[in-house]
Amino acid sequence: METSKGSLVTRKARTSDLPEVIETNRQELPENYSPDFFKDMLEEHGDFFFVGEDRGKIVGYVMCRKETNFSPFGEYFSLSPRGHVVSLAVRSTHRRMDIGRSLMQTVHEAMKNAGIREAYLEVRTDNAPAIALYKSMGYDIRKTIRGYYMDGTDAHIMALQL
């Protein structure tokens, strides 16, 4: 699955993208994962791992996985596949260019094609731009977890019916 808009290309991540993806994560997000975590996510959930590329340079990524567990978000508990948006980052030089939205739309389509009908994510309660993006895409805040992040920041759990 690949889309393009001007010089921006949104496509599935490749192993050769991982150094730039990891660099983006380190520079743009306070929570960082090990290189092995990125490698494992790509190997195990590559259908839900996309990059945004501008003129051959990775400027953003979204890393997701398919989980099958009980969903507490419906009117009843159901065992169904859900898409977990593990990490989304866009380089500060490329923000407000709809790269994050494009990455999220692309992974939502991949999730739907895989039979996933619900996506969820965690977001820092103080990250107003990310919360605004997710709300504009139809995500709802379902609950807040106190002290979720390593630095003690709270997280909203947001979910979307696809």
Q: What is the pLDDT of residue 7?
A: 72
From residue 58, give the alpha-carbon distance in Å to each of 11, 46, 100, 140.
Answer: 10, 16, 13, 29
Domains (range + CATH), the chain: 2-161 (3.40.630.30)
Q: What is the pLDDT of residue 70?
A: 60
Q: What is the pLDDT of residue 6?
A: 64
Residue from 103, 93, 91, 100 nearest 2 by CA? 103
Q: What is the pLDDT of residue 101?
A: 94
Encode the chain (162 residues) as per-residue pLDDT tens digits. Answer: 656 566 788 999 999 999 999 999 999 998 889 999 999 999 999 999 999 998 889 999 999 999 886 655 554 455 678 899 999 999 988 888 789 999 999 999 999 999 999 999 999 999 999 999 999 999 999 999 999 998 999 999 999 999
Q: Which residues pair with 66 in a beta bridge?
A: 83
pTM above 0.75, yes or no: yes
Q: Which residues pair with 51 in a beta bridge?
A: 11, 61
Q: Are 157 and 120 in contact (CB under 8 A)?
A: yes
Q: What is the pLDDT of residue 3?
A: 61
